[in-house]
C-alpha cells in the first residue's frame, strides 16, 4: 500500500497545468465503440480509473495504443461478445457506460454490476429506463443483460438528471433510427464534451449544454481527433490548496468557462481568483471570511445538478471552510456517505458538527495538526491532502491509490509548487 507523507504549513507558489478531465475521458472512450474507424484522443489523463476503462474496452476486442502518456489511438474495428471481468467492472462506476454503445453497435451486452466510490447507493435504474425507451430489453440476475434487434429513437424523460445515464442515452440515440429527445438531461462539461466528440464523428446532436437534447440518428459514425478538456475538479483542488496554505499560484488552461458557479460559491467561503484568458491566478491575500446570508444567518452550500455546485467538490469546499472565519452549513443530498470523512478533519483540529449523513456545519478558522489518515475515496482523499498541506506538523495519508484514480501525478504537481510531500510504499 502506498502513502503520502506531508509536512504542512508551506505556502504553495508557482504554476501548474491540470490534466484532462477524468469524467470526460471515460465516456469518450466508451463512445469509440460506436465506430469501426480509428479515433485519436489527446490530453487523456493517465490515471487508474481511465486505465481500468481501457482494459475493459480492450477485452471487447478494441485495439488501443498510447503514442505518449496522453495521446491515445482507439480502433474498434470489430467488437466481440465477451464475458467481462466482474472485478474489473467493480473497479469503476464508468463500466456502465459501455451499455449504450455496445447495444447500438452489436445488439447485446452482458454486464456485471458497476462499482466506483463507496459514497452511498448509486442506482442504475435511470440507465435502464432510458435504454428501454429505445427498444432495449433489459434483464437482471446478478448481471445485466442488454439486448435489442434495432434501436429506434424515442422521447426520453430521465427520472433524475443522472450524468452517466444521460451519457448512455446519448450514445444509444446517435445511431438509433429516427429522432430522439432527451429531457431532464444532465449538462455537465463532460457531457458537453461527449456531445462535441460525437458530432465530430458525424452525429447530429442539438441543444448541447441544455437539459433538453435533440438527436437525429445517423446510420454510421466515423473516426476523428479530439482533445479532452481540463479537469475542473483538479483546477479547484489546486485553488483550494493555494487558499488553505496562503499560497499564490497560476493555473494554466483552467477551463474558466465552466467555473462561474464554483467561483460564486468559493467567494462566499472567502476565496477569490482572477482570470486571464484561459488561465487563473490565486492571490496569497484572501479574505478568508465566510459571507453570511441576509440577517447574519448561517449560509448554506448545497450541491445541485450542473450548472450549480457539483457534488464532487463538496469535500474540497469543506476543508477550505475550516480555514475561513465564520460558520457554514454544507448539504449533499445526493450521497449519504459523502460527509463521513469529516471525522478525520475533526481529529486534525477542525470544528465540524456532522448533523446527519447529508449535512455538516463548519466553524472556522481552525488550526489543523498533522495526523495519520486514510483516503476513503477520490474526492475525500484529495480533500485530506489539502488539510495536510495546511496543517502544522506531519501527516500520513494511506490508501492513496484512491486519489490516483482521479488525479494524475498529484504529488509531482504539488512538489513543483513547493509542497513537502513524499510518496512512500509501506
- DSSP assignments along 235-276, one per residue: HHHHHHHHHHHT-EEEESS--GGG-HHHHHHHHHHT---EEE
213 and 185 Cβ atoms separated by less than 8 Å: yes
337: cell is 456517505
Distance CA 301, CA 410 (A): 27
* Three-class HEC string of 120-169: CCCCCHHHHHHHHCCCCEEEECCCEEEECCCCECCEEECCCCCHHHHHHH
For residue 101, what are the contacts with CB-CB under 8 A and spacing of at least 6?
30, 31, 33, 34, 171, 172
Planar angle of CA 151, 123, 237, nearest 5 degrees: 105
For residue 356, what are the contacts with CB-CB under 8 A and spacing of at least 6?
none
**Helix crossing, 125-132 with 99-106: angle to 10°?**
30
Active-site residue numbers? 117
Amino acid at each position: 500500500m502506498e502513502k503520502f507523507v506531508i509536512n504542512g504549513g508551506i505556502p504553495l507558489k508557482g504554476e501548474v497545468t491540470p490534466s484532462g478531465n477524468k469524467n470526460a475521458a471515460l465516456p469518450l472512450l466508451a463512445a469509440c465503440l460506436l465506430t469501426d474507424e480509428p479515433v485519436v484522443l489527446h490530453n487523456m489523463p493517465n490515471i487508474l480509473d481511465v486505465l481500468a476503462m481501457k482494459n475493459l474496452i480492450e477485452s471487447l476486442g478494441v485495439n488501443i495504443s498510447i503514442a505518449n502518456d496522453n495521446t491515445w489511438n482507439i480502433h474498434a474495428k470489430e467488437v466481440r461478445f465477451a464475458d467481462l471481468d466482474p472485478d474489473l467492472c467493480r473497479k469503476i462506476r464508468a463500466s456502465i457506460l459501455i451499455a449504450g454503445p455496445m447495444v447500438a453497435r452489436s445488439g447485446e451486452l452482458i454486464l456485471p454490476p458497476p462499482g466506483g466510490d463507496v459514497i452511498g447507493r448509486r442506482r442504475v435504474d435511470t440507465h435502464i429506463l432510458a435504454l428501454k425507451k429505445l427498444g432495449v430489453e433489459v434483464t437482471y440476475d446478478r448481471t445485466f443483460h442488454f439486448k435489442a434487434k434495432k434501436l429506434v429513437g424515442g422521447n426520453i424523460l430521465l427520472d433524475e438528471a443522472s450524468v452517466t445515464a444521460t451519457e448512455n442515452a446519448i450514445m444509444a440515440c446517435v445511431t438509433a433510427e429516427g429522432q430522439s429527445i432527451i429531457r431532464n438531461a444532465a449538462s455537465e462539461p463532460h457531457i458537453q464534451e461527449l456531445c462535441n466528440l460525437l458530432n465530430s464523428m458525424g452525429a447530429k446532436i442539438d441543444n448541447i449544454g441544455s437539459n433538453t437534447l435533440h438527436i437525429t440518428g445517423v446510420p454510421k459514425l466515423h473516426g476523428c481527433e479530439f482533445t479532452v478538456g481540463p479537469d475542473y475538479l483538479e483546477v479547484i483542488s489546486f485553488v483550494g490548496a493555494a487558499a488553505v496554505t496562503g499560497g499564490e499560484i497560476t493555473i494554466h488552461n483552467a477551463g474558466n468557462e465552466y467555473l462561474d458557479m464554483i467561483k460564486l460559491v468559493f467567494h462566499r467561503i472567502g476565496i477569490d481568483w482572477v482570470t486571464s484568458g484561459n488561465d487563473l491566478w490565486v492571490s496569497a491575500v484572501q479574505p478568508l471570511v465566510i459571507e453570511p446570508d441576509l440577517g447574519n444567518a448561517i449560509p448554506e452550500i448545497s450541491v445541485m445538478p450542473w450548472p450549480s455546485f457539483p457534488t464532487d467538490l463538496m469535500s474540497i469546499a469543506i476543508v477550505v471552510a475550516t480555514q475561513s472565519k465564520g460558520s457554514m452549513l454544507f448539504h449533499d443530498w445526493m450521497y449519504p456517505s459523502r460527509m463521513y470523512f469529516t471525522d478525520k478533519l475533526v481529529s486534525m483540529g477542525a470544528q465540524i458538527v456532522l448533523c446527519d449523513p447529508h449535512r455538516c456545519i463548519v466553524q472556522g478558522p481552525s488550526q489543523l495538526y498533522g495526523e495519520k489518515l486514510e483516503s476513503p475515496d477520490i474526492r475525500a482523499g484529495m480533500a485530506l491532502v489539502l488539510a495536510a498541506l495546511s496543517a502544522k506538523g506531519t501527516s500520513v495519508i494511506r490508501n492513496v491509490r484512491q486519489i490516483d484514480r482521479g488525479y494524475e501525478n498529484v504529488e509531482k504537481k504539488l512538489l513543483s509548487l513547493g509542497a513537502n510531500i513524499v510518496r512512500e510504499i509501506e
